[in-house]
Amino acid sequence: MDKESVIYFRDVPIYQRDSMVFSGASLEIKQGEFVYLIGKTGTGKSSLLKAMYAELPVKQGEAMVAGFNLLGIRTREIPLLRRKLGIIFQDFQLLSDRNVEENLMFVLKATGWKNKKEMMGQIKDVLQKVGLSTKGFKLPHQLSGGEQQRVSIARSLLNNPEIILADEPTGNLDPETSREIMRLLIEISQAGRAVLMATHNYLLLNEFSSRIIRCEAGKLHSL
């Protein structure tokens, strides 16, 4: 595995409960790469991402993510791994009773930040990066779907991750807002982070061309 690789899987079987999703997943993603993960519903896109952030266990093959060996990773190491990852979900997963800044503060506290001044500085920085500098006081329901997804992208950047894992990040958004989110994710990649984005929106693939990996019949295929 060369030193620039931030994700490296070789012949990794992945199970969702007792059902085998991949008989042997193999892929390699380097620092600063933007890669699409495509495939029909049920072909394992989300399961692969869950294996990468250690929600599903990896028991065979070779699997390295952000310098962590996923084979036999200890429970206490999983939070350290996840600090090196930014995870973006389709359904935003924001706390509805807290404003934007409080949502981000919650994550910083949960990941071990202590200094209030540094925490506020980091929150302001990530909100500026996603174009929401003036929206920190708003509750999630006061934001559009696109703005809520921008908050979840800001949240994913809080711990300066090496890798962004995005699971259908435009799935609940209209076409124009989807394009805005894509431009933002590509910017993040160009700044040096690897971005792996699971999607079934093939229009975006045509408009924002990049490397594609397809999930099919228990394997990964580079296109």
Per residue in 30-48, pLDDT (tens digit) is 999 999 999 988 889 999 9
Rounded Cα gap, residues 74 and 68, in angstroms = 10
Kindly tell me if the per-residue pLDDT of 198 is higher than 70: yes
The vertex-158 CA angle with 156 and 161, nearest 5°, equals 70
Rounded Cα gap, residues 147 and 50, in angstroms = 25
Predicted local distance difference test score (pLDDT) of residue 131: 95
Give the residue-averaged pLDDT of 140-146. 95
Q: How does pLDDT run across 50-106, given as a tens digit for each residue?
A: 999 999 999 999 999 999 999 989 999 999 999 999 999 888 889 999 999 999 999
Kindly tell me if the per-residue pLDDT of 2 is higher than 70: no
DSSP conformational letter for 3: T
CA 20 from centroid of its chain's CA atoms: 23
What strands, in cross-sheet order, belong to the sheet with 194-198? 85-88, 163-167, 194-198, 34-38, 211-216, 219-222
Model-level pTM? 0.93
Instruction: Say if residue 139 is exposed, middle or buried (CB neighbours under 10 Å; 0-12, 13-18, 19+).
Output: middle
Rounded Cα gap, residues 198 and 184, in angstroms = 16
Estimate the share of the chain in helix, then strand, then coil, as percent rounded to the nearest 5.
Answer: 35, 25, 35
The pLDDT confidence band at residue 213, using thresholds 50, 70 and 90, is: very high
Instruction: Assign residue 11 a region (left: φ > 0; alpha: ψ between -120 and 50; beta: otherwise).
Output: left
Give the residue-averaged pLDDT of 6-32. 93
